[in-house]
Amino acid sequence: MASNLDSVSDTQRTLYPYVTGTSVVALKYKNGILMAADMGGSYGSTLRYKSIDRLKPIGKHSLLGASGEISDFQEILRYLDELILYDNMWDDGNSLGPKEMHNYLTRVMYNRRNKFNPLWNALVLGGVKNGQKYLGMVNMIGINFEDNHVATGLGNHLARPILRDEWHENLTFEEGVKLLEKCMRVLLYRDRSAINKIQVCAFSSSCLC
């Protein structure tokens, strides 16, 4: 293609995203993690797909939410499938928790960035293992951190201020959902890539729903 000035022998580089998902917002609540994202896949400025699942449970303990290029997210899910498979094959009673998953994803994202072939995503990884809640984020250049509430994309600018103000330890499920819905509403108003169909996932110490 005209804009790809690299020689033919170069391995591929993702230069720009095609089908993208917008913000993901997540917070810790009393019993675990709450995560929300809309179900849209934008193709440039067109709101092209309106039923894309951007929140996926991984293994027994984690929830992965992604924004950015959907094809790269689908590829990450395949990597994780393999990871979980090998983990289960050990059959040793242990299973990868959210902290380990976050670390794995961070290494993958950062190493791809070093090869100038990033996975064009910002990922939110949350979960509960042995009663311990965990919520972290990693983006396409490998920046990663954990916090009580995280968001990607425009969510960082619009949702996090709301969360900084209104989040507290020991939110009930209802309070958490109300807070997330407030964030998603603001995003719908102010993010042009947002659509009005959202998915909310709760992960508590007792179950994944």
Partner 1 sequence: MDQKMDFNAPHSMGTTIIGVTYNGGVVLGADSRTSTGVYVANRASDKITQLTDNVYVCRSGSAADSQVVSDYVRYFLHQHTIQLGQPATVKVAANLVRLLSYNNKNFLETGLIVGGWDKYEGGQIYGVPLGGTIVQQPFAIGEMEDEILKNHCSIEHCFPGSGSSYLYGFFDQAWKEGMTKDEAEDLVKKAVSLAIARDGASGGVVRTVIINSEGVTRNFYPGDQLPLWHEELEPQNSLLDILGAPEPMNI
- Which residues are designated catalytic? 14
Please choose, out of 43-51, 87-95, 154-162, 188-196, the segment that lies near partner 1 by the rule CB under 8 A: 43-51
* Number of chain positions touching partner 1 (CB under 8 A): 26
Gap between the Cα atoms of 72 and 12, Å rounded = 13
CB of 195 to partner 1, least distance (A): 13
Please choose, out of 41-49, 134-142, 144-152, 193-201, the segment that lies near partner 1 by the rule CB under 8 A: 41-49
Decide: is 65 part of the binding site for partner 1 (CB under 8 A). Answer: no
Q: Classify burial at 8, counting beta carbons within 10 Å of its beta carbon; exposed 0-12, middle 13-18, buried 19 or more.
A: exposed
Nearer to partner 1, 51 or 172 (CB): 51
Closest alpha carbon to 20 in 114, 119, 107: 119
Decide: is 9 part of the binding site for partner 1 (CB under 8 A). Answer: no
Q: Please select the residue that binds partner 1; options are 27, 52, 105, 119, rule is CB under 8 A.
A: 52
CB of 9 to partner 1, least distance (A): 13
Gap between the Cα atoms of 52 and 196, Å rounded = 13
Q: Please select the residue that binds partner 1; options are 7, 12, 170, 206, rule is CB under 8 A.
A: 12
In Å, how far from its chain's centre is CA 115?
A: 22
Decide: is 2 part of the binding site for partner 1 (CB under 8 A). Answer: yes
**How far, CA to CA in Å, does 142 sit from each of 18, 102, 104, 155?**
21, 11, 11, 18
Beta bridge partners, 57, equal: 63
Please choose, out of 1-9, 59-67, 142-150, 190-198, the segment that lies near partner 1 by the rule CB under 8 A: 1-9
Closest alpha carbon to 33 in 121, 125, 156, 95: 125
Gap between the Cα atoms of 140 and 120, Å rounded = 5
Gap between the Cα atoms of 165 and 179, Å rounded = 11
CB of 74 to partner 1, least distance (A): 7
Residues that bind partner 1 (CB under 8 A): 1-4, 12-19, 41, 43-46, 48-49, 51-52, 69-71, 74-75
